[in-house]
Structure 1
Amino acid sequence: MRILNTMAARAIPFVPRSLIRKISRRYIAGETLDDACARIQSLDAAGFRTTVDVLGESASSFDQAESMTRDYLDLVDVLGANNMRTELSIKLTALGLHLDEDACMKRVSTILRAAAPYGISACIDMEDVSCTQKTLDAFLRLEADGYPVGIALQAYLTRTNEDMVPLQARKSRLRICKGIYAEANEHLVDGASKDRAAINAHFVRHVSSAIEAGSFVAITTHDAQLIDALIDWLQREQVDRSRFEFQMLLGVCEPLRDGLLAQGFNVRVYVPYGHDWYGYSTRRIKENPRIAGYILAAMIRRARVA
């Protein structure tokens, strides 16, 4: 079944957009700001923290980067007016990192300055390996400027071992995830290209060392075995629950997410919204081949009915 699901994931580009759109409703709050706010309020009422992301990355023009900046500023205004203390997720390429780094930094700073009076923090998301160093450099500048900001790190990258060192020394706020971009083997920890479970030992080491260094850590994974291993360590070391949180994507592993909340852990849900639903949904499906298997089964049922 796993092989069939993987084959189905590779066939995603040939799946009708209408079917992808239907599936996307599970992972995306909607296309509008109102949709996002409604989902944030619902999750907040259930006891979850939230991170909100305006979908889109790799702006190809200054106009696109400026449009994304306006989208974030509109988001901040609405969140602030409604006293919603969520967190922003920001991809630097969406704000023009590849076009003009200085202009990108000005856009990010504008967003963070607008968010700060409302108590809204942000996490600088990590993208593919071509962006890693630029993203780290940008984060250190933003952190040094006093903005309430954290950064995501990917445990499947070999370089993360070194990247962690200055961040831990500064007790930076960190978000540790496995990583989803297709990278060359030379950039990956041993075995990661063939078996994502090979990342787990590195993940645990990064989380534990960061917490021991005094950083707040967002543990971002849907791997139940990995979560169990981390909970064992956290409880054995008697780590206060204010020092970390679990993070999960909207619509993914909801029983596991709900179970963590029921155990009294802080849980944050990543809430994306916007018009780039197709690109985001196909990335999520490729990351989780089981979903591709469900889509393939739905296509077969549709063909039989027709």
Structure 2
Amino acid sequence: MRILNTMATRAIPFLPRSLIRKISRRYIAGETLCDARTRIHALHAAGFRTTIDVLGESASSSDQAESMAHDYLNLVQALGAENQPTELSIKLTALGLHLDEDACMTRVSMVLRAAASYGISACIDMEDISCTQKTLDAFRELEADGYPVGIALQAYLTRTNGDIVPLQARKSRMRICKGIYAESTEHLVDGASRDRAAINAHFVRHVSSAIQAGSFVGIATHDAQLIDALTSWLQRERVNRSRFEFQMLLGVCEPQRDALLAQGFHVRVYVPYGRDWYGYSTRRIKENPRIAGYILAAMIRSARAR
């Protein structure tokens, strides 16, 4: 089955977009703001928290970056009018980080100012290694300006060992994840390029040290072994559940997500929506080869039935 999954993953670029669209319904709320609102209403009603992301990365023009900023402002206005307690996920490259850093910061500040007026917080997402320092610098400035904002850190990067220190000193709000970008080995913790499980010890250390320093931490992982290790530590240390939350992607490991909620933990679901559904969905499928295997097997069965 592993060989089939690997073959299916490599075949993704050749699969019909209509098939990818069907699979994408599991991972994204839809293409429109209305789709996103419907999904988050359901999640809130079930007891989950939510983070909303307007899909799109690396704006290629100032017009594209401006359009993304307006998409976020429309989202904030709609959620604020309904008094929906949620969080925004913001990628700085989508707002023009690579084009004009000052203009990017103006756009981000505009979005955060509008969000804060409705009691909506935000998390600055972390992107590939070329953006790491610029993202940390931008976050420091936004945090100093008083916006309710947190930042994502990637446990698989060696530099996170140093990056987290000033954040802990400031008691910054953090989202700690393993990391998904394909970085060269020189940037990664030992063993991470060969085995994702090698990241776990670093992940646990970052989460525990940040909580002990007084930061609020979003624990962003679907790794069952990692979740078990952290829940054991949190319970053993009697950490108040208001100090952290678990975070999971829409459509991924839903039984595990539901189990955490049933145990009384706060769980936040990352809800993406927007026109870039194809790029996001193919990334999710590549990250989970078993799904690609199911798709290929279904196509083979369908062809035989004809």
Three-state SS of the structure 2 residue aligned to 1:50 is strand
Residues 73-152 of structure 1 correspond to what in structure 2 (within 5 A)?
73-152=73-152
Displacement of 1:203 in angstroms is 0.5
Residue identity opposite 2:103 in structure 1:
A
| Aligned-partner Cα distance in 2 for 1:2–1:156 | 25
Partner residue of 1:298?
Answer: 298
Partner residue of 2:274?
Answer: 274
Asked if residue 161 in structure 1 is aligned to residue 165 in structure 2, the reply is: no
| Aligned-partner Cα distance in 2 for 1:5–1:194 | 18
Three-state SS of the structure 2 residue aligned to 1:207 is helix
Give TM-score, length-normalised by structure 2.
Answer: 0.99
Three-state SS of the structure 2 residue aligned to 1:246 is strand
Residue identity opposite 2:198 in structure 1:
A
Q: How many residues align?
A: 306
Partner residue of 2:207?
Answer: 207
Aligned-residue Cα RMSD (Å) equals 0.8
Displacement of 1:214 in angstroms is 0.5
Partner residue of 2:263?
Answer: 263
Displacement of 1:297 in angstroms is 1.2
Q: Extract unaligned runs of 5+ from structure 1.
A: none
| Aligned-partner Cα distance in 1 for 2:184–2:296 | 28
Residue identity opposite 2:224 in structure 1:
A
4+ long deviations beyond 3 Å: none
Partner residue of 2:227?
Answer: 227
Displacement of 1:12 in angstroms is 1.2
Three-state SS of the structure 2 residue aligned to 1:251 is coil
Three-state SS of the structure 2 residue aligned to 1:11 is helix
Displacement of 1:302 in angstroms is 2.2
Three-state SS of the structure 1 residue aligned to 2:231 is helix
| Aligned-partner Cα distance in 2 for 1:180–1:241 | 27
Residue identity opposite 2:181 in structure 1:
Y
Identity %: 85
CA shift digits 1:82-114 (9 cap, x unpaired): 110100000000000000000000000000000
CA shift digits 1:194-232 (9 cap, x unpaired): 111111111000000100110000000001110000001
Q: Extract unaligned runs of 5+ from structure 2.
A: none
Asked if residue 33 in structure 1 is aligned to residue 33 in structure 2, the reply is: yes
| Aligned-partner Cα distance in 2 for 1:21–1:174 | 32
| Aligned-partner Cα distance in 2 for 1:3–1:187 | 29
Displacement of 1:289 in angstroms is 1.2
| Aligned-partner Cα distance in 1 for 2:304–2:155 | 43
| Aligned-partner Cα distance in 2 for 1:248–1:185 | 26
